């Protein structure tokens, strides 16, 4: 009996150790890596996205890193379509492929698929955009909380595109955005999916996040954000690690407060990531130090 190909998903919160684990597994299984980190796609964003280093990239072939410009529109649906096409090619050469990242929506899109989203009348889109632009984000967030508490629980409240997109669907259909994101009945794929979650004790993870942020600042995070300041309204830059510095550059607070917010918001982001992944019962959870256990688990799932 021919063994089924395996897509090995490595997920978890920021700073937990996903990149290192993915490279170790890729080298062990002699395969390649697909990144499902929606911030690492963009060429112009380097320090603030914790991209694999040049040395790390040389240790294993990575796909979907530095493949887009911040001025390009990209979403989970496009990623899933392109990644699925790539997997066909990669499985011709490899029995296993690694998918790694912390962007739950992108991982879900590839593994489960999305339902077709409904058409939204232009006037609804414009109304929401105008409400956001006039500074009434709180009213929109409350509308989202009341109509789709599931999506509200983990969405980044300052990400205009994510918040308004959900509300567009809610207003157009009277149904929650989450109901359209459940994914159609899973299509039987030509490969099996093994989901590995990495986690640390919360206090340890938060310490790692704080240390990583200090390292990013030393590497020039503030200078990188300043170079991207003219593009700060682009969706790619509506993310933790850049927005806080943009607000600092706008004079909303001093550098010390910006650093405090960078660390706090990164910790909050990690918490939202864990909330998302823990809801998926297909994940098997390990410490990043348990590489040998992870390898044995993956091999035990071979079909």
pLDDT digits (tens, 9 = 90+) for 112-145: 886 677 788 888 888 888 888 888 888 988 998 8
Query: CB under 8 Å to 141, separation ≥6 — which residues?
Result: 152, 157, 163
Give me the sign of the Cα torsion angle 245, 251, 256, 258. negative
Element (H, E) at 191: strand 191-198
CATH architecture of 122-180: Orthogonal Bundle (1.10)
- Decide if pLDDT at 254 tops 80: yes
Mean pLDDT across 81-90: 94
Per-domain residue ranges of the chain: 5-114+183-300, 122-180
Tell me, which fold does domain 5-114+183-300 have in CATH?
A: Rossmann fold (3.40.50)
DSSP 3-state helix, strand, coil percentages of the chain (rounded to 5)?
Answer: 55, 10, 35
Mean pLDDT across 170-192: 76
d(CA 253, CA 157): 20
Mean pLDDT across 297-302: 93
- Decide if pLDDT at 291 tops 90: yes
Say what the pTM is: 0.84
Query: CB under 8 Å to 195, separation ≥6 — which residues?
Result: 9, 11, 111, 280, 282, 283, 284
Whole-angstrom CA distances from 66 to 44, 232, 233 are: 8, 19, 20
DSSP letter at 181 equals: S
Q: How confident is the model at residue 183 (pLDDT cuts 50, 70, 90)?
A: low
């Amino acid at each position: 009996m021919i063994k089924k190909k395996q897509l090995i998903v490595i997920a978890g919160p920021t700073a937990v150790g996903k990149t290192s684990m993915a490279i170790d597994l890729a080298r062990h299984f002699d395969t390649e890596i697909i990144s499902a980190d929606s911030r690492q796609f963009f060429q112009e964003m380097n320090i603030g996205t914790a991209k694999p280093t040049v040395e790390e990239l040389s240790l294993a072939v990575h796909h979907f890193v530095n493949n887009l410009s911040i001025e390009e529109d990209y979403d989970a649906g496009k990623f899933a379509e392109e990644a699925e096409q790539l997997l066909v090619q990669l499985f011709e050469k490899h029995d296993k492929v690694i998918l790694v990242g912390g962007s739950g929506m992108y991982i879900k899109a590839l593994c489960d698929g999305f339902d077709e989203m409904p058409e939204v009348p232009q006037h609804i889109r414009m109304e929401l955009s105008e409400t956001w632009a006039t500074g009434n984000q709180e009213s929109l967030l409350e509308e989202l909380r009341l109509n789709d508490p599931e999506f509200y629980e983990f969405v980044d409240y300052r990400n205009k595109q994510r918040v308004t997109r959900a509300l567009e669907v809610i207003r157009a259909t009277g149904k929650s955005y989450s109901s359209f994101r459940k994914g159609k009945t899973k299509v039987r794929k030509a490969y099996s999916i093994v989901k590995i979650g990495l986690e640390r004790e919360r206090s340890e993870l938060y310490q790692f996040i704080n240390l990583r942020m200090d390292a990013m600042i030393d590497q020039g995070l503030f200078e990188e954000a300043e170079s991207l300041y003219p593009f700060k309204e682009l969706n790619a830059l509506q993310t933790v690690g850049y927005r806080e510095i943009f607000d600092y550059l706008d004079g909303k607070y001093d550098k010390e407060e910006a650093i405090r917010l960078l660390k706090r918001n990164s910790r909050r982001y990690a918490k939202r990531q864990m909330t998302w992944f823990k809801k998926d019962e297909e994940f098997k959870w390990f410490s990043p130090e348990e590489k040998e256990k992870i390898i044995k688990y993956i091999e035990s799932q071979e079909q």
